Amino acid sequence: MINLLEVEGLGVRFAGLDALKDVSLNLAPGQILAVIGPNGAGKTTLFNAISGYVRPSTGQVRLKGHDVAGASPHEIARHGIRRTFQNGGLFPALTVLENVLTGLHAQTGGNFLDVLLGRRRALESEREMIARARKLLSLMQMEKMADMRAADLSGGQQRIVEIVRTVASDPPILLLDEPAVGLSPLARDQMMEIIHRMAGEKGVGILLIEHAVELVMAGADRILVMAAGQRIAEGTPQEIREDRAVLEAYLGHA
């Protein structure tokens, strides 16, 4: 089976300093790979280099066999990768429903002229997209907020909407940057349920950064541990629990 994502020897230098050094990983269809490590470990820089927001200094990034290292975020997104950001990225003036629909725009049938003239296939496609967006919001118990402006939501609610928007287009590869930040325990459980459904039922490869170690241990297939811009360990949750280097570098004891 061809890996969805292959990262080999990835390095990023800022002003002569190594933010990432020789990081490698593979992500298979249906796999949940978590990236953990202390603050400053290079986790978000790794995401930025994979998704095109930072140009790698060394190494390769292959999406479904295509080398995209150094490509623009738009070009990389065309290969099917989607991601969230630590600080969110909603359109505050749009409603919750409208924000989710922006994640489905590429799948809308018809062209601009169809939409402009109100042609049947464009209208039917729009109705289908709205129904799909409302169903996703319902799964996260956000359907009652569909017509609220994103700016009027709490930080945790905005986080849920961003995740719903990101998964709406059924991407083959999904990068989630601290998805549990600001969520209640119930919302975290609902979020992980959707993540597992996407991985298990749809074969989506999911790479996630998360500081909630208990969430990672319970929900990830494999865990990659980083410190000072380098990979120090990778394995199953049980293997990571017992890894001496992880205990010393991440958990603070051996």
Within 13 Å, how many C-alpha atoms sit on residue 244's CB side?
0
Give me the domains of the chain, ranges plus CATH numbers: 1-80+171-254 (3.40.50.300), 92-164 (no CATH)
In the DSSP assignment, the letter for residue 95 is B
- Helix axis angle for 155-167 and 185-202, nearest 10°, is 10
pLDDT of residue 136: 85
Which residues of the chain have a pLDDT value below 70?
A: 1, 87-88, 105-122, 250-254
Per the CB < 8 A criterion, the answer to whether 52 and 71 are in contact is: yes
The tens digit of pLDDT for each residue in 12-22 reads 999 889 999 99
Token pair 């169809």 is found at 114
pLDDT of residue 163: 84
Beta strands 81-83 and 173-177, pairing class: parallel
What is the pLDDT at residue 251?
57
Residue 28 has a pLDDT of 96
Q: What is the pLDDT of residue 206?
A: 96
The answer to whether 107 touches 129, Cβ cutoff 8 Å, is yes
- Asked whether the beta carbons of 103 and 166 are under 8 A apart, the reply is yes
Rounded-to-integer distance, Cα 207 and Cα 161, Å = 19
Comparing CA positions, the residue from 87, 91, 106, 90 lying closest to residue 171 is 106
Residue 1's pLDDT is what?
A: 63
* pLDDT digits 0-9 by tens, 30-65: 999 999 998 899 999 999 999 999 999 999 999 988
Question: Token pair for residue 182?
Answer: 């600001």
Instruction: Provide the token pair at 105.
Output: 């725009």
Tokens of 237: 């949750």
Classify burial at 242, counting beta carbons within 10 Å of its beta carbon; exposed 0-12, middle 13-18, buried 19 or more.
exposed
Burial class (CB in 10 A: 0-12, 13-18, 19+), 93: exposed
Angle at 100 between CA 95 and CA 103, to 5 degrees: 135
Q: What is the pLDDT of residue 4?
A: 95
Q: In what order do the strands lie in the sheet with 205-209?
A: 81-83, 173-177, 205-209, 32-36, 222-227, 230-235
* pLDDT for residue 212: 84
> How does DSSP classify residue 150?
G
